[in-house]
Amino acid sequence: MNYLKSITTLICLAFILSCSNTTQPQIKRNLYFNGDIITMQSNEPIYAECIVTCKDSIAFVGKLTEAEKLYPNSTRIDLQGNTLLPGLIDGHAHFAGFPSQAIGAQILPPPDAGAKNIATLIQILKEWSTPENIELTGWIFGMGFDDSVLEEKRFPTKFDLDKVSTEHPVMIIHISGHFCVVNSKGLELLNINSKSQNPEGGIIRRVPESNEPNGVLEELAAIPFMPMVLGPKTEKAITTFLEKGQEMALSYGYTTVQEGRAMANSHLFLEHAANTNFLKIDVISYIDYSISDSLLKTEWYSPNYKNHYRIGGMKLTLDGSPQGRTAWRTQPYLIPPEGAELGYKGYPAIPNDEDVIKIYEKAFKNNYQILTHANGDAAMDQMIRTMNIAKENTNKNERRDVLIHGQYIRDDQLDAFKELNVITSFFPLHTFYWGDWHKELIGDSLGNYISPTRNALNKGLNITIHTDAPVALPNLMRVIWTATKRISRSGKIIGKSQRLTPYEALKCITDWSAYQHFEENSKGTLEVGKLADIVILNNNPLKVEIDSIQKIIVLKTIKEGETVYELKP
Protein backbone atom coordinates (compact mmCIF):
# COMPACT_ATOMS: atom_id res chain seq x y z
CA MET A 1 0.00 0.00 0.00
CA ASN A 2 2.87 2.42 0.87
CA TYR A 3 4.53 1.52 -2.44
CA LEU A 4 1.35 2.39 -4.34
CA LYS A 5 1.04 5.67 -2.46
CA SER A 6 4.63 6.55 -3.33
CA ILE A 7 4.04 5.82 -7.01
CA THR A 8 0.88 7.97 -6.97
CA THR A 9 2.78 10.81 -5.29
CA LEU A 10 5.55 10.66 -7.91
CA ILE A 11 3.02 10.71 -10.75
CA CYS A 12 1.25 13.74 -9.25
CA LEU A 13 4.59 15.50 -8.71
CA ALA A 14 5.62 14.86 -12.32
CA PHE A 15 2.26 16.20 -13.50
CA ILE A 16 2.64 19.36 -11.40
CA LEU A 17 6.17 19.97 -12.68
CA SER A 18 5.15 19.49 -16.32
CA CYS A 19 2.23 21.90 -16.01
CA SER A 20 4.12 24.50 -13.99
CA ASN A 21 6.90 24.83 -16.58
CA THR A 22 6.75 28.55 -17.38
CA THR A 23 8.67 28.00 -20.63
CA GLN A 24 5.52 26.45 -22.13
CA PRO A 25 3.16 29.45 -22.46
CA GLN A 26 1.09 27.61 -25.08
CA ILE A 27 -0.24 25.24 -22.41
CA LYS A 28 -3.64 26.42 -21.23
CA ARG A 29 -3.82 26.84 -17.46
CA ASN A 30 -6.80 28.24 -15.54
CA LEU A 31 -6.70 29.22 -11.88
CA TYR A 32 -10.11 29.28 -10.14
CA PHE A 33 -10.35 31.16 -6.84
CA ASN A 34 -12.57 33.27 -4.56
CA GLY A 35 -15.45 30.85 -4.14
CA ASP A 36 -16.58 27.72 -2.33
CA ILE A 37 -14.49 24.98 -3.91
CA ILE A 38 -15.71 21.62 -2.58
CA THR A 39 -13.32 18.77 -3.40
CA MET A 40 -15.77 15.91 -2.51
CA GLN A 41 -12.76 13.79 -1.45
CA SER A 42 -13.76 12.85 2.08
CA ASN A 43 -16.76 11.76 4.14
CA GLU A 44 -16.98 15.35 5.37
CA PRO A 45 -16.79 18.52 3.23
CA ILE A 46 -13.29 19.71 2.38
CA TYR A 47 -12.83 23.16 0.85
CA ALA A 48 -9.86 24.37 -1.19
CA GLU A 49 -8.81 27.98 -1.77
CA CYS A 50 -8.21 27.36 -5.46
CA ILE A 51 -7.70 24.83 -8.18
CA VAL A 52 -5.60 25.00 -11.32
CA THR A 53 -6.48 23.12 -14.49
CA CYS A 54 -3.84 22.32 -17.08
CA LYS A 55 -5.14 21.33 -20.50
CA ASP A 56 -7.71 18.61 -19.76
CA SER A 57 -6.74 17.78 -16.18
CA ILE A 58 -6.51 19.16 -12.67
CA ALA A 59 -2.96 20.29 -11.87
CA PHE A 60 -3.34 21.74 -8.39
CA VAL A 61 -5.79 21.87 -5.49
CA GLY A 62 -4.90 23.90 -2.42
CA LYS A 63 -3.69 27.29 -1.20
CA LEU A 64 -3.92 30.31 -3.51
CA THR A 65 -0.46 31.64 -2.64
CA GLU A 66 1.16 28.31 -3.51
CA ALA A 67 -0.74 28.08 -6.80
CA GLU A 68 0.34 31.61 -7.76
CA LYS A 69 3.99 30.62 -7.27
CA LEU A 70 3.70 27.37 -9.20
CA TYR A 71 1.53 28.75 -12.02
CA PRO A 72 2.32 32.45 -12.45
CA ASN A 73 1.10 32.55 -16.05
CA SER A 74 -2.30 31.02 -15.42
CA THR A 75 -5.51 32.69 -16.52
CA ARG A 76 -7.15 33.82 -13.28
CA ILE A 77 -10.88 33.09 -13.03
CA ASP A 78 -12.62 34.83 -10.14
CA LEU A 79 -15.55 32.71 -8.93
CA GLN A 80 -17.04 35.81 -7.27
CA GLY A 81 -18.30 33.80 -4.32
CA ASN A 82 -19.98 31.09 -6.41
CA THR A 83 -19.51 27.36 -5.79
CA LEU A 84 -17.26 24.99 -7.75
CA LEU A 85 -17.72 21.20 -7.68
CA PRO A 86 -16.61 18.18 -9.68
CA GLY A 87 -18.77 17.64 -12.77
CA LEU A 88 -22.07 15.93 -12.03
CA ILE A 89 -22.71 12.26 -12.85
CA ASP A 90 -26.26 10.92 -12.74
CA GLY A 91 -26.51 7.41 -11.26
CA HIS A 92 -29.10 6.46 -13.89
CA ALA A 93 -30.68 8.28 -16.83
CA HIS A 94 -31.60 7.75 -20.46
CA PHE A 95 -29.61 10.32 -22.41
CA ALA A 96 -30.99 9.19 -25.76
CA GLY A 97 -34.38 10.35 -24.47
CA PHE A 98 -33.21 13.83 -23.48
CA PRO A 99 -33.78 15.23 -27.01
CA SER A 100 -37.39 14.05 -27.07
CA GLN A 101 -38.01 15.68 -23.70
CA ALA A 102 -36.33 18.91 -24.78
CA ILE A 103 -38.08 19.07 -28.18
CA GLY A 104 -41.47 17.41 -27.69
CA ALA A 105 -44.67 18.93 -26.37
CA GLN A 106 -44.25 19.86 -22.72
CA ILE A 107 -46.92 17.66 -21.14
CA LEU A 108 -45.37 17.28 -17.69
CA PRO A 109 -47.67 18.30 -14.82
CA PRO A 110 -46.98 21.33 -12.61
CA PRO A 111 -44.48 22.50 -11.42
CA ASP A 112 -42.44 21.33 -14.43
CA ALA A 113 -45.07 22.19 -17.07
CA GLY A 114 -48.82 22.80 -17.28
CA ALA A 115 -50.56 19.51 -18.15
CA LYS A 116 -52.90 19.45 -15.15
CA ASN A 117 -55.84 17.82 -16.96
CA ILE A 118 -56.60 16.05 -20.23
CA ALA A 119 -58.12 19.12 -21.89
CA THR A 120 -54.94 21.11 -21.21
CA LEU A 121 -52.79 18.21 -22.40
CA ILE A 122 -54.71 18.09 -25.69
CA GLN A 123 -54.31 21.85 -26.13
CA ILE A 124 -50.54 21.68 -25.47
CA LEU A 125 -50.20 18.95 -28.11
CA LYS A 126 -52.23 20.95 -30.63
CA GLU A 127 -50.12 24.08 -30.11
CA TRP A 128 -46.94 22.07 -30.56
CA SER A 129 -48.15 20.43 -33.78
CA THR A 130 -46.57 22.76 -36.32
CA PRO A 131 -45.40 21.32 -39.67
CA GLU A 132 -41.79 22.01 -38.63
CA ASN A 133 -42.15 20.02 -35.41
CA ILE A 134 -44.05 17.12 -36.99
CA GLU A 135 -41.39 16.87 -39.71
CA LEU A 136 -38.75 15.91 -37.10
CA THR A 137 -40.17 12.41 -36.52
CA GLY A 138 -43.38 12.25 -38.54
CA TRP A 139 -45.32 12.09 -35.26
CA ILE A 140 -46.93 14.51 -32.82
CA PHE A 141 -45.37 13.58 -29.48
CA GLY A 142 -44.80 14.63 -25.90
CA MET A 143 -43.24 13.12 -22.80
CA GLY A 144 -44.25 13.07 -19.15
CA PHE A 145 -48.03 12.94 -18.72
CA ASP A 146 -48.94 11.65 -15.26
CA ASP A 147 -52.31 10.02 -14.63
CA SER A 148 -51.77 10.26 -10.85
CA VAL A 149 -51.73 14.07 -11.10
CA LEU A 150 -54.18 14.68 -13.95
CA GLU A 151 -57.47 15.96 -12.55
CA GLU A 152 -59.34 13.05 -14.17
CA LYS A 153 -57.05 10.50 -12.43
CA ARG A 154 -56.97 8.32 -15.54
CA PHE A 155 -54.90 7.61 -18.61
CA PRO A 156 -55.80 9.51 -21.77
CA THR A 157 -56.92 7.16 -24.55
CA LYS A 158 -56.94 7.12 -28.33
CA PHE A 159 -60.30 8.89 -28.20
CA ASP A 160 -58.67 11.84 -26.40
CA LEU A 161 -55.66 11.92 -28.73
CA ASP A 162 -57.87 11.76 -31.82
CA LYS A 163 -58.96 15.27 -30.77
CA VAL A 164 -55.36 16.37 -31.38
CA SER A 165 -55.23 14.90 -34.89
CA THR A 166 -56.74 12.15 -36.99
CA GLU A 167 -54.42 12.97 -39.91
CA HIS A 168 -51.10 12.60 -38.07
CA PRO A 169 -50.06 9.85 -35.63
CA VAL A 170 -49.80 10.94 -31.99
CA MET A 171 -47.81 9.31 -29.19
CA ILE A 172 -47.49 10.53 -25.62
CA ILE A 173 -45.13 8.89 -23.11
CA HIS A 174 -46.12 8.33 -19.50
CA ILE A 175 -43.89 9.97 -16.89
CA SER A 176 -42.66 6.52 -15.82
CA GLY A 177 -41.36 5.76 -19.33
CA HIS A 178 -43.15 2.39 -19.14
CA PHE A 179 -46.41 3.29 -20.91
CA CYS A 180 -47.44 5.22 -23.97
CA VAL A 181 -50.75 6.26 -25.51
CA VAL A 182 -51.29 6.53 -29.26
CA ASN A 183 -54.18 7.81 -31.31
CA SER A 184 -56.13 5.82 -33.90
CA LYS A 185 -53.73 6.79 -36.69
CA GLY A 186 -50.80 5.73 -34.54
CA LEU A 187 -52.35 2.33 -33.79
CA GLU A 188 -52.88 1.85 -37.52
CA LEU A 189 -49.24 2.63 -38.33
CA LEU A 190 -47.99 0.36 -35.51
CA ASN A 191 -50.31 -2.40 -36.79
CA ILE A 192 -51.99 -2.82 -33.40
CA ASN A 193 -55.62 -3.89 -33.65
CA SER A 194 -58.23 -6.21 -32.16
CA LYS A 195 -56.30 -9.25 -33.41
CA SER A 196 -53.03 -8.19 -31.75
CA GLN A 197 -51.95 -10.39 -28.84
CA ASN A 198 -50.40 -9.07 -25.63
CA PRO A 199 -46.63 -9.61 -25.73
CA GLU A 200 -44.97 -11.36 -22.80
CA GLY A 201 -44.27 -8.68 -20.20
CA GLY A 202 -46.75 -6.19 -21.69
CA ILE A 203 -50.43 -5.37 -22.08
CA ILE A 204 -52.48 -3.72 -24.81
CA ARG A 205 -55.37 -2.11 -22.95
CA ARG A 206 -58.75 -2.62 -24.55
CA VAL A 207 -62.05 -0.80 -24.92
CA PRO A 208 -64.51 -2.19 -22.31
CA GLU A 209 -66.59 -5.08 -23.66
CA SER A 210 -64.50 -5.09 -26.81
CA ASN A 211 -61.13 -6.38 -27.94
CA GLU A 212 -60.33 -3.10 -29.70
CA PRO A 213 -57.20 -1.39 -28.32
CA ASN A 214 -57.98 1.83 -26.44
CA GLY A 215 -54.57 3.34 -27.26
CA VAL A 216 -52.84 2.65 -23.92
CA LEU A 217 -49.81 0.34 -24.21
CA GLU A 218 -48.04 -1.06 -21.15
CA GLU A 219 -44.43 -2.14 -20.70
CA LEU A 220 -43.21 -4.42 -23.52
CA ALA A 221 -46.29 -3.56 -25.55
CA ALA A 222 -44.99 0.03 -25.52
CA ILE A 223 -41.25 0.19 -24.92
CA PRO A 224 -40.01 -1.32 -28.24
CA PHE A 225 -42.07 1.23 -30.20
CA MET A 226 -40.90 4.34 -28.36
CA PRO A 227 -37.37 4.73 -29.86
CA MET A 228 -38.75 3.82 -33.30
CA VAL A 229 -41.42 6.52 -33.15
CA LEU A 230 -39.39 9.23 -31.43
CA GLY A 231 -36.27 8.84 -33.56
CA PRO A 232 -35.33 11.72 -35.88
CA LYS A 233 -36.06 10.98 -39.53
CA THR A 234 -33.65 13.32 -41.37
CA GLU A 235 -30.06 14.50 -40.99
CA LYS A 236 -31.36 17.93 -40.02
CA ALA A 237 -33.62 16.35 -37.40
CA ILE A 238 -30.72 14.29 -36.01
CA THR A 239 -28.67 17.47 -35.56
CA THR A 240 -31.58 19.25 -33.89
CA PHE A 241 -32.14 16.32 -31.52
CA LEU A 242 -28.47 16.11 -30.58
CA GLU A 243 -28.15 19.84 -30.00
CA LYS A 244 -31.25 20.11 -27.81
CA GLY A 245 -30.60 16.96 -25.79
CA GLN A 246 -26.95 17.76 -25.10
CA GLU A 247 -27.74 21.38 -24.24
CA MET A 248 -30.29 20.19 -21.69
CA ALA A 249 -27.70 17.93 -20.02
CA LEU A 250 -25.06 20.64 -19.97
CA SER A 251 -27.46 23.18 -18.48
CA TYR A 252 -27.91 20.91 -15.45
CA GLY A 253 -24.17 20.42 -14.91
CA TYR A 254 -23.67 16.94 -16.39
CA THR A 255 -20.15 16.10 -17.50
CA THR A 256 -20.90 12.37 -17.69
CA VAL A 257 -24.34 11.03 -18.57
CA GLN A 258 -25.75 7.53 -18.82
CA GLU A 259 -27.92 5.92 -21.46
CA GLY A 260 -29.43 3.39 -19.10
CA ARG A 261 -31.18 1.06 -21.56
CA ALA A 262 -29.81 1.37 -25.07
CA MET A 263 -31.79 -0.34 -27.79
CA ALA A 264 -30.46 -0.64 -31.35
CA ASN A 265 -31.82 2.74 -32.48
CA SER A 266 -30.58 4.64 -29.44
CA HIS A 267 -27.10 3.12 -29.75
CA LEU A 268 -26.93 4.04 -33.44
CA PHE A 269 -28.02 7.59 -32.55
CA LEU A 270 -25.19 7.89 -30.00
CA GLU A 271 -22.68 6.13 -32.24
CA HIS A 272 -23.48 8.70 -34.94
CA ALA A 273 -22.97 11.52 -32.43
CA ALA A 274 -19.56 10.10 -31.48
CA ASN A 275 -18.42 9.43 -35.03
CA THR A 276 -19.28 13.00 -36.04
CA ASN A 277 -17.42 14.42 -32.98
CA PHE A 278 -20.63 16.01 -31.77
CA LEU A 279 -20.51 14.97 -28.12
CA LYS A 280 -19.14 17.47 -25.62
CA ILE A 281 -19.61 15.27 -22.56
CA ASP A 282 -19.03 11.59 -21.84
CA VAL A 283 -21.93 9.24 -22.57
CA ILE A 284 -21.88 5.67 -21.24
CA SER A 285 -24.45 3.18 -22.55
CA TYR A 286 -25.84 -0.01 -21.03
CA ILE A 287 -27.20 -2.25 -23.76
CA ASP A 288 -30.52 -4.04 -23.32
CA TYR A 289 -29.84 -7.74 -22.75
CA SER A 290 -31.97 -8.66 -25.79
CA ILE A 291 -29.44 -7.13 -28.21
CA SER A 292 -26.29 -7.29 -26.08
CA ASP A 293 -24.57 -9.97 -28.21
CA SER A 294 -24.45 -7.69 -31.23
CA LEU A 295 -22.98 -4.66 -29.47
CA LEU A 296 -20.84 -5.87 -26.56
CA LYS A 297 -18.44 -7.45 -29.05
CA THR A 298 -17.78 -4.13 -30.82
CA GLU A 299 -15.10 -1.51 -30.22
CA TRP A 300 -17.64 0.60 -28.31
CA TYR A 301 -17.54 -1.79 -25.34
CA SER A 302 -14.46 -0.43 -23.65
CA PRO A 303 -13.24 1.18 -20.43
CA ASN A 304 -12.09 4.10 -22.60
CA TYR A 305 -14.25 6.63 -24.39
CA LYS A 306 -14.03 7.13 -28.13
CA ASN A 307 -15.06 10.67 -28.97
CA HIS A 308 -16.88 10.79 -25.60
CA TYR A 309 -18.89 7.58 -26.06
CA ARG A 310 -18.53 4.03 -24.79
CA ILE A 311 -20.59 0.99 -23.82
CA GLY A 312 -20.24 0.06 -20.16
CA GLY A 313 -22.23 -3.17 -19.96
CA MET A 314 -25.73 -4.69 -20.00
CA LYS A 315 -29.18 -3.68 -18.81
CA LEU A 316 -31.83 -6.09 -17.56
CA THR A 317 -35.41 -5.09 -16.69
CA LEU A 318 -37.35 -7.38 -14.35
CA ASP A 319 -40.59 -5.44 -13.85
CA GLY A 320 -42.29 -2.13 -14.48
CA SER A 321 -43.25 1.13 -12.84
CA PRO A 322 -44.59 1.55 -9.28
CA GLN A 323 -46.52 4.71 -10.13
CA GLY A 324 -47.99 2.88 -13.12
CA ARG A 325 -48.71 -0.17 -10.92
CA THR A 326 -46.74 -2.57 -13.09
CA ALA A 327 -43.98 -3.05 -10.48
CA TRP A 328 -44.07 -6.71 -9.38
CA ARG A 329 -44.93 -7.04 -5.69
CA THR A 330 -45.42 -9.82 -3.15
CA GLN A 331 -48.43 -7.98 -1.69
CA PRO A 332 -51.44 -6.66 -3.63
CA TYR A 333 -51.85 -3.02 -4.56
CA LEU A 334 -54.59 -1.41 -2.49
CA ILE A 335 -55.98 0.17 -5.67
CA PRO A 336 -55.61 -2.05 -8.76
CA PRO A 337 -55.19 -0.38 -12.17
CA GLU A 338 -57.91 -0.14 -14.78
CA GLY A 339 -59.01 -3.59 -15.90
CA ALA A 340 -57.29 -5.47 -13.04
CA GLU A 341 -58.99 -7.35 -10.22
CA LEU A 342 -58.54 -7.04 -6.45
CA GLY A 343 -55.41 -8.91 -5.40
CA TYR A 344 -53.41 -7.57 -8.39
CA LYS A 345 -49.67 -7.51 -7.61
CA GLY A 346 -48.17 -6.28 -10.87
CA TYR A 347 -46.24 -8.70 -13.05
CA PRO A 348 -42.72 -9.77 -14.06
CA ALA A 349 -41.04 -8.75 -17.30
CA ILE A 350 -39.40 -12.20 -17.50
CA PRO A 351 -41.53 -14.81 -15.71
CA ASN A 352 -39.10 -17.74 -16.01
CA ASP A 353 -36.19 -17.69 -13.53
CA GLU A 354 -34.11 -19.88 -15.82
CA ASP A 355 -34.14 -17.16 -18.47
CA VAL A 356 -32.94 -14.58 -15.94
CA ILE A 357 -30.18 -16.91 -14.67
CA LYS A 358 -28.86 -17.27 -18.23
CA ILE A 359 -28.71 -13.48 -18.64
CA TYR A 360 -26.75 -13.07 -15.40
CA GLU A 361 -24.45 -15.97 -16.29
CA LYS A 362 -23.65 -14.30 -19.61
CA ALA A 363 -22.77 -11.07 -17.79
CA PHE A 364 -20.61 -12.81 -15.19
CA LYS A 365 -18.78 -15.10 -17.63
CA ASN A 366 -17.89 -12.16 -19.89
CA ASN A 367 -17.23 -9.81 -16.96
CA TYR A 368 -19.92 -7.41 -18.18
CA GLN A 369 -21.25 -5.00 -15.59
CA ILE A 370 -25.03 -5.43 -15.44
CA LEU A 371 -27.66 -2.92 -14.32
CA THR A 372 -30.96 -4.44 -13.18
CA HIS A 373 -34.19 -2.48 -13.11
CA ALA A 374 -36.40 -3.80 -10.30
CA ASN A 375 -39.02 -1.77 -8.45
CA GLY A 376 -41.28 -4.29 -6.72
CA ASP A 377 -40.05 -6.57 -3.95
CA ALA A 378 -41.09 -9.67 -5.92
CA ALA A 379 -38.85 -8.52 -8.78
CA MET A 380 -35.99 -7.99 -6.32
CA ASP A 381 -36.58 -11.46 -4.86
CA GLN A 382 -36.18 -12.80 -8.39
CA MET A 383 -33.03 -10.73 -8.88
CA ILE A 384 -31.47 -12.00 -5.64
CA ARG A 385 -32.24 -15.71 -6.11
CA THR A 386 -31.21 -15.80 -9.78
CA MET A 387 -28.07 -13.71 -9.28
CA ASN A 388 -26.96 -15.98 -6.43
CA ILE A 389 -27.34 -19.06 -8.64
CA ALA A 390 -25.53 -17.41 -11.55
CA LYS A 391 -22.65 -16.34 -9.32
CA GLU A 392 -22.21 -19.88 -8.05
CA ASN A 393 -21.91 -21.09 -11.65
CA THR A 394 -19.42 -18.47 -12.83
CA ASN A 395 -16.34 -16.50 -11.76
CA LYS A 396 -15.97 -14.62 -8.52
CA ASN A 397 -14.30 -11.51 -9.96
CA GLU A 398 -14.89 -8.18 -8.23
CA ARG A 399 -18.14 -6.84 -9.60
CA ARG A 400 -20.08 -3.60 -9.39
CA ASP A 401 -23.49 -4.69 -10.53
CA VAL A 402 -26.25 -2.18 -9.88
CA LEU A 403 -29.86 -2.29 -8.71
CA ILE A 404 -31.74 0.48 -10.47
CA HIS A 405 -34.62 2.13 -8.55
CA GLY A 406 -35.53 -0.45 -5.85
CA GLN A 407 -38.56 1.60 -4.79
CA TYR A 408 -40.37 -1.12 -2.82
CA ILE A 409 -37.26 -2.79 -1.42
CA ARG A 410 -37.47 -4.65 1.89
CA ASP A 411 -34.91 -4.43 4.68
CA ASP A 412 -33.86 -8.08 4.27
CA GLN A 413 -33.26 -7.42 0.58
CA LEU A 414 -30.81 -4.64 1.45
CA ASP A 415 -28.86 -7.25 3.43
CA ALA A 416 -28.94 -9.63 0.47
CA PHE A 417 -27.65 -6.95 -1.90
CA LYS A 418 -24.86 -6.15 0.55
CA GLU A 419 -23.81 -9.81 0.40
CA LEU A 420 -23.93 -9.72 -3.40
CA ASN A 421 -21.90 -6.47 -3.46
CA VAL A 422 -24.66 -4.83 -5.52
CA ILE A 423 -24.65 -1.03 -5.71
CA THR A 424 -28.11 0.40 -5.05
CA SER A 425 -29.02 3.39 -7.21
CA PHE A 426 -32.15 4.93 -5.74
CA PHE A 427 -34.73 7.28 -7.21
CA PRO A 428 -35.67 9.72 -4.40
CA LEU A 429 -37.55 12.01 -6.79
CA HIS A 430 -40.44 9.61 -6.18
CA THR A 431 -40.92 11.10 -2.73
CA PHE A 432 -41.93 14.41 -4.30
CA TYR A 433 -43.63 13.39 -7.54
CA TRP A 434 -45.48 10.29 -6.31
CA GLY A 435 -45.06 10.12 -2.53
CA ASP A 436 -48.79 10.70 -1.94
CA TRP A 437 -49.67 8.22 -4.71
CA HIS A 438 -47.41 5.52 -3.23
CA LYS A 439 -49.17 5.75 0.12
CA GLU A 440 -52.53 5.27 -1.57
CA LEU A 441 -51.27 2.27 -3.53
CA ILE A 442 -49.33 0.34 -0.87
CA GLY A 443 -50.19 1.90 2.50
CA ASP A 444 -48.63 4.45 4.80
CA SER A 445 -45.79 2.48 6.39
CA LEU A 446 -44.53 0.96 3.13
CA GLY A 447 -45.02 4.29 1.33
CA ASN A 448 -42.69 5.97 3.82
CA TYR A 449 -39.98 3.41 3.08
CA ILE A 450 -39.58 4.02 -0.66
CA SER A 451 -35.95 4.68 -1.63
CA PRO A 452 -34.51 3.87 1.83
CA THR A 453 -31.20 5.63 1.29
CA ARG A 454 -30.35 6.06 4.97
CA ASN A 455 -30.87 2.39 5.83
CA ALA A 456 -28.80 1.35 2.80
CA LEU A 457 -25.92 3.60 3.88
CA ASN A 458 -26.14 2.42 7.48
CA LYS A 459 -25.90 -1.19 6.29
CA GLY A 460 -22.72 -0.35 4.38
CA LEU A 461 -24.05 -0.53 0.82
CA ASN A 462 -22.57 1.61 -1.91
CA ILE A 463 -25.35 3.90 -3.13
CA THR A 464 -26.05 6.52 -5.77
CA ILE A 465 -29.17 8.53 -6.63
CA HIS A 466 -30.58 9.44 -10.01
CA THR A 467 -33.15 11.35 -12.08
CA ASP A 468 -34.12 8.56 -14.51
CA ALA A 469 -34.54 11.44 -16.97
CA PRO A 470 -36.48 11.90 -19.16
CA VAL A 471 -38.93 10.38 -16.65
CA ALA A 472 -38.36 13.65 -14.81
CA LEU A 473 -36.30 16.65 -15.84
CA PRO A 474 -32.56 15.95 -15.46
CA ASN A 475 -32.35 18.52 -12.67
CA LEU A 476 -29.73 17.16 -10.29
CA MET A 477 -30.23 19.96 -7.77
CA ARG A 478 -33.85 18.85 -7.40
CA VAL A 479 -32.58 15.28 -6.84
CA ILE A 480 -30.42 16.54 -3.97
CA TRP A 481 -33.39 18.45 -2.55
CA THR A 482 -35.72 15.46 -2.67
CA ALA A 483 -33.12 13.14 -1.14
CA THR A 484 -32.62 15.54 1.77
CA LYS A 485 -36.17 16.87 2.22
CA ARG A 486 -38.29 13.82 1.27
CA ILE A 487 -41.49 15.82 0.90
CA SER A 488 -44.47 15.13 -1.37
CA ARG A 489 -46.44 17.42 -3.66
CA SER A 490 -49.01 17.87 -0.89
CA GLY A 491 -46.34 18.79 1.65
CA LYS A 492 -46.25 15.48 3.55
CA ILE A 493 -42.92 14.14 4.78
CA ILE A 494 -42.20 10.77 3.14
CA GLY A 495 -39.91 8.78 5.41
CA LYS A 496 -38.02 11.36 7.44
CA SER A 497 -35.75 8.62 8.80
CA GLN A 498 -34.44 7.93 5.28
CA ARG A 499 -33.14 11.44 4.56
CA LEU A 500 -29.60 12.01 3.32
CA THR A 501 -27.54 15.03 4.27
CA PRO A 502 -26.90 17.46 1.41
CA TYR A 503 -23.26 16.39 1.36
CA GLU A 504 -24.16 12.69 1.09
CA ALA A 505 -26.56 13.49 -1.74
CA LEU A 506 -23.75 15.38 -3.51
CA LYS A 507 -21.44 12.40 -3.05
CA CYS A 508 -24.10 10.27 -4.78
CA ILE A 509 -23.84 12.32 -7.98
CA THR A 510 -20.09 12.89 -7.96
CA ASP A 511 -17.66 10.57 -6.15
CA TRP A 512 -19.94 7.58 -5.59
CA SER A 513 -21.44 7.73 -9.07
CA ALA A 514 -17.95 7.82 -10.60
CA TYR A 515 -17.22 4.64 -8.63
CA GLN A 516 -20.42 3.01 -9.92
CA HIS A 517 -19.19 3.58 -13.49
CA PHE A 518 -15.60 2.35 -12.76
CA GLU A 519 -14.35 5.90 -13.29
CA GLU A 520 -13.26 6.88 -9.78
CA ASN A 521 -9.64 7.25 -10.89
CA SER A 522 -10.47 10.04 -13.32
CA LYS A 523 -13.72 11.64 -12.10
CA GLY A 524 -15.91 12.43 -9.11
CA THR A 525 -13.53 14.47 -6.94
CA LEU A 526 -11.21 17.43 -7.38
CA GLU A 527 -7.77 15.84 -7.21
CA VAL A 528 -4.50 16.34 -9.04
CA GLY A 529 -4.36 14.23 -12.19
CA LYS A 530 -8.11 13.74 -12.55
CA LEU A 531 -10.02 15.19 -15.48
CA ALA A 532 -10.90 18.86 -15.29
CA ASP A 533 -14.63 18.09 -15.24
CA ILE A 534 -16.14 20.96 -13.27
CA VAL A 535 -19.47 22.63 -12.58
CA ILE A 536 -19.96 26.13 -11.17
CA LEU A 537 -23.19 26.82 -9.24
CA ASN A 538 -24.70 30.10 -8.10
CA ASN A 539 -25.10 28.79 -4.53
CA ASN A 540 -23.58 26.20 -2.24
CA PRO A 541 -25.95 23.25 -1.61
CA LEU A 542 -24.24 22.72 1.75
CA LYS A 543 -24.87 26.24 3.04
CA VAL A 544 -28.32 27.30 1.78
CA GLU A 545 -31.62 26.32 3.37
CA ILE A 546 -32.79 22.89 2.17
CA ASP A 547 -35.75 24.31 0.23
CA SER A 548 -33.36 26.60 -1.66
CA ILE A 549 -31.29 23.70 -3.01
CA GLN A 550 -33.83 22.99 -5.77
CA LYS A 551 -33.51 26.62 -6.92
CA ILE A 552 -29.74 26.45 -7.43
CA ILE A 553 -28.75 26.93 -11.06
CA VAL A 554 -25.70 25.95 -13.07
CA LEU A 555 -23.64 28.94 -14.19
CA LYS A 556 -20.98 27.03 -16.09
CA THR A 557 -20.18 23.45 -17.10
CA ILE A 558 -16.56 22.63 -17.93
CA LYS A 559 -15.52 19.36 -19.55
CA GLU A 560 -11.82 18.46 -19.59
CA GLY A 561 -10.87 22.09 -19.11
CA GLU A 562 -13.12 23.48 -21.85
CA THR A 563 -16.26 25.49 -21.11
CA VAL A 564 -19.10 23.61 -22.79
CA TYR A 565 -22.00 25.53 -21.24
CA GLU A 566 -22.39 29.00 -19.78
CA LEU A 567 -25.62 30.53 -18.54
CA LYS A 568 -26.60 33.44 -20.71
CA PRO A 569 -27.10 36.74 -18.84
Angle at alpha carbon of residue 155, lines to 149 and 157, rounded to 5°: 145
Query: Residue 26 CA to chain centroid, in angstroms?
Result: 38
* Segment 58-78, tens digit of pLDDT: 999 999 999 999 999 999 999
Amino acid at position 306, single letter: K
Q: State residue 178's pLDDT score.
A: 86
Q: State residue 230's pLDDT score.
A: 84
Give the CB-side neighbour count of residue 156, counting CA atoms within 13 A: 34
b/e map 492-525, b = 16+ CB within 10 Å: eebbeebbbebbbbbbbbbbbbbbbbebeeebbb
* Segment 458-511, tens digit of pLDDT: 999 999 999 999 888 899 999 999 999 999 989 999 999 999 999 999 999 999
* pLDDT > 60? residue 13: no
End-to-end CA distance of the chain: 49
CA distance 522 to 14: 17
Q: State residue 5's pLDDT score.
A: 42
pLDDT band at 19 (very low <50, low <70, confident <90, very high): low
Q: Is 62 left (phi over 0), alpha (psi -120 to 50) or beta?
A: left
CA distance 352 to 366: 22
Question: Mean pLDDT throughout 427-448?
Answer: 88
* pLDDT > 50? residue 11: no
Q: State residue 95's pLDDT score.
A: 96
Query: Residue 538 CA to chain centroid, in angstroms?
Result: 23
Q: State residue 172's pLDDT score.
A: 96
Q: State residue 7's pLDDT score.
A: 42
> Among 7-21, 37-51, 255-269, 486-500, which is the least confidently predicted range?
7-21
* Segment 318-363, tens digit of pLDDT: 999 998 889 999 999 999 988 889 999 999 999 999 999 999 999 9
Edge to edge, the sheet with strand 179-182 lists 105-106, 140-145, 170-174, 179-182, 213-219, 202-206
Would you call 236 exposed, middle or buried from its count of C-beta atoms within 10 A (0-12, 13-18, 19+)? exposed
Per the CB < 8 A criterion, the answer to whether 525 and 509 are in contact is: no
Q: State residue 323's pLDDT score.
A: 85
Q: State residue 394's pLDDT score.
A: 80
Nearest CA among 423, 436, 430, 388 for reference residue 408: 430
Q: Are strands 463-465 and 179-182 parallel, antiparallel or unpaired?
A: unpaired
101-104: which pairs have CB atoms within 8 A and are 24 or more residues apart? 101/143, 101/144, 101/245, 101/248, 101/469, 101/470, 101/473, 102/244, 102/245, 102/247, 102/248, 103/133, 103/136, 103/240, 103/241, 103/244, 104/128, 104/141, 104/142, 104/143, 104/230
Angle at alpha carbon of residue 463, lines to 385 and 361, rounded to 5°: 30
CA distance 321 to 367: 29
DSSP annotation of 457 reads H
What percentage of the chain reaches a pLDDT higher than 70?
95
Q: Which helix (H) or strand (E) holds 295?
A: helix 292-295
What domains can be seen in the chain, in order of their start residue?
2-81 (2.30.40), 97-229 (3.10.310.70), 253-522 (3.20.20.140)
> Among 92-96, 126-130, 467-471, 480-484, which is the least confidently predicted range?
467-471
Would you call 265 exposed, middle or buried from its count of C-beta atoms within 10 A (0-12, 13-18, 19+)? middle
